[in-house]
Amino acid sequence: MKLIAVNIAQAKQLSYRGQAVQTGIFKEPVTKPVMVRTSGLDGDKVADLSVHGGVYKAVYAYPVEHYEYWKPRLGRMDLPFGQFGENMTVEGMTEDRVQIGDVFRIGDAVLQVTQPRLPCYKLALKMGSMKFPKQFLASGRVGYYFRVLEEGTVGRGDRIQRVSVDPAGVTIQAIVRLAFTDNGDTPAIKKALAIPALSQEWRSLLEERLAAA
């Protein structure tokens, strides 16, 4: 497993439905190591803390393997790292291999997986298609968020080590299915809800699915 790119952004103003909105989704790769703190990466702007950022969404990672999936579907070969708004473009860490609660050492930092990413309208604006968030979610190639257990510097090319594996064994792929496809599987939902590392956002989402079931 490897850190392919570290991506940050300053806030940018866009127009959405006649309103000016701020976004930090236009990430660009950096060449120098970056300090990762419990609040996120130094130099990276989070415009809306109700949607991104915070303790449980301090760092967003996206697998580099998905870039080849999206290129023909988007009809674009010019997809630079950071295209999907990720702070870290990672290799060997697809959603079927990463579990909620897993802990990784990346560079000098230690991070724990907390939830999948839910796409919003700002991703649609970035991609130039209001249909893209639905395509993104339906693909299952959504990436995931980390919280920071130990602050430290990270840089492109850093080796990634899995420090511990969560005993529940609920992958990012599986929890996305529970929320949007297999939301009648109450035993699996209860198993996911028992994971201490699961973010409150996704805990609330799965509790809603459980109540409906």
How many CA atoms lie within 13 Å of 151's alpha carbon, on the beta-carbon side?
10
* pLDDT of 57 higher than 80: yes
Question: Is residue 179 included in any domain, yes or no?
Answer: no
Name the pTM for this structure: 0.95
Across 58-86, average pLDDT: 95
Q: Which helix (H) or strand (E) holds 75?
A: none
Q: Give the whole-number percent of the chain exceeding pLDDT 90.
A: 78
Question: Is residue 61 included in any domain, yes or no?
Answer: yes
What integer pLDDT is reported at residue 41 of this predicted model?
96
Question: Is residue 213 included in any domain, yes or no?
Answer: no
What integer pLDDT is reported at residue 17 of this predicted model?
79
Across 15-31, average pLDDT: 87
Question: Is residue 20 included in any domain, yes or no?
Answer: yes
* pLDDT of 51 higher than 70: no
Helix-helix angle 200-212:172-180, to 10 degrees = 40
Question: Is residue 172 included in any domain, yes or no?
Answer: no
Task: Render pLDDT for 34-48 as a digit per residue (tens, 0 to 9).
Answer: 999 999 999 998 766
Instruction: Check which CATH number belongs to the domain holding 63 and give it.
Output: 2.40.33.20
Across 101-107, average pLDDT: 98
Question: Is residue 190 included in any domain, yes or no?
Answer: no
73/104 Cα distance (integer angstroms)? 31
Q: Which residues does 6 contact at the CB level (< 8 Å), separation at least 6?
A: 29, 30, 33, 34, 41, 87, 88, 154, 155, 156
Question: Is residue 204 included in any domain, yes or no?
Answer: no
What integer pLDDT is reported at residue 52 of this predicted model?
67
72/149 Cα distance (integer angstroms)? 37
Q: What is the mean pLDDT of the chain?
A: 93
- Looking up tokens 């420090």 gives 163
Q: Which residues does 2 contact at the CB level (< 8 Å), separation at least 6?
A: 90, 91, 92, 157, 158, 159, 160
2/8 Cα distance (integer angstroms)? 18
Residue 70 structural domain: 2-166
Q: Are 145 and 56 in contact (CB under 8 A)?
A: yes
What integer pLDDT is reported at residue 20 of this predicted model?
83
Total domain count for the chain?
Answer: 1
Task: Render pLDDT for 137-177 as a digit per residue (tens, 0 to 9).
Answer: 999 999 999 999 999 999 999 999 999 999 999 999 999 99
Task: Render pLDDT for 105-121 as a digit per residue (tens, 0 to 9).
Answer: 999 999 999 999 999 88
Task: Render pLDDT for 175-211 as a digit per residue (tens, 0 to 9).
Answer: 999 999 987 899 999 999 999 999 999 999 999 999 9
Question: Is residue 181 included in any domain, yes or no?
Answer: no
